[in-house]
Amino acid sequence: MQKVRKAIILAGGKGARLYPVTLETPKPLLTVNKKPIINYLIEMFKKHGIEEVAITVRQGDFEDFSWWLRRWQNDLGGVWVNLMVEEEPMGTLGYWAHKLHTWTGSEPFFLTNGDELKEVNLTEMAAHHRKVGGLATIAAVEVSNPQEYGVLICDGDHIHSFLEKPENPPTNFISSGLYLIDPKVREHLSDKIQSGEKFLMIEKDLFPKLAAERKLAAYKSKGKWHDCGNLQRWEKAIKEWDSETK
């Protein structure tokens, strides 16, 4: 597998659990220690050789992200950043499947949620992806409260199923919201694409199919991870992230 050069950051969500804060500021632009969450993601990509990043945003948030890019561009380490407007909700996979697949071309690419803090060794993850030989790899993280998330059930390096917020999780590993994707996965979406279905979710429309074929791998990351999805978790990230990463 060639070096991974491109990444997509999904930044088009409403952030409803953080209302009313996110009625004014898109969640990826909320700050942790005075720096937007999305900056930390781009810094992680830069550290591991990613050269180009596409950010999908809602039409109503485009002005906010344009301002952010003007303000922070010189701090992004030379990574090429392009804002892509999602004119209608297309889920976590629809925009790539219908429009951005030509940009990623035949190369594997990273895809991440734009509203979580994460430190993943992407170089090691890419090597693991190559070794296991699947079509997609999920960066898994170990958390103390897996019952609040989707838990990954693995058979060795392969993911065979998911448990959504189980009462008694069999493992503490959950998805970090970061994936390495081989563009060949688009073949698994061909029926939906040809029928014009635009709203596609990677978690429901792709991963179960790949898991059934043993083409979905787990990379167990040892790096830090914070979900900033509600006010309590965002506050926790602000208090803990800096001390954890020094």
Residues 18-66 pLDDT 10s: 787 777 889 999 999 999 999 999 999 999 999 999 999 999 999 999 9
Domain-located, residue 54 = yes
Give per-residue pLDDT as tens, 220-238.
998 889 888 888 888 888 8
Residue 92 lies in a domain: yes
DSSP 8-class letter at 205: I
Alpha helices in the chain (DSSP H): 21-24, 37-47, 62-72, 94-95, 101-104, 122-132, 190-194, 207-212, 231-245
How, if at all, do strands 158-164 and 80-86 pair?
unpaired
43 within some domain: yes
Q: Has residue 63 been placed in a domain?
A: yes
Candidate from 95-99, 138-142, 165-169 with smallest mean pLDDT: 165-169
Q: Is residue 211 part of a domain?
A: yes
- CA distances 223 to 70, 91, 133, 140, 172, Å, are 30, 27, 23, 10, 15
Q: For residue 74, what are its two tokens?
A: 């010189």
Distance between CA atoms of residues 209 and 22, nearest Å: 34
How many domains would you assign to the chain?
A: 1
Token digits of residue 184: 């060949």
Residue 1 covered by a domain: no
Please state, in angstroms and as integers, the Cα–Cα distance from residue 190 to each residue in 23, 97, 187, 198, following that order: 36, 9, 5, 12
Amino acid at residue number 195: S
Distance, CA of 127 to chain centre: 18
Percent composition of the chain: helix, strand, coil (DSSP 3-state, to 5): 40, 30, 30
Whether residue 32 lies inside any domain: the answer is yes
Domain containing 137 equals 6-245
Q: The domain that contains 186 carries what CATH number?
A: 3.90.550.10
CA atoms within 13 A on the CB side of 123: 5
Confidence bin at 156 (pLDDT 50/70/90)? confident
Q: Would residue 173 count as lying in a domain?
A: yes
**Three-state SS at 233:** helix
- Counting residues of the chain whose pLDDT is more than 70, the rounded percentage is 97
- Given a cut of 70, whether residue 151 has pLDDT beyond it is yes
Which burial class, exposed, middle or buried, applies to 212 when counting CB atoms under 10 A from its CB (0-12, 13-18, 19+)? Answer: exposed
Residues 6+ apart with CB under 8 A from 192: 97, 200, 205
pLDDT at 167 over 80: yes
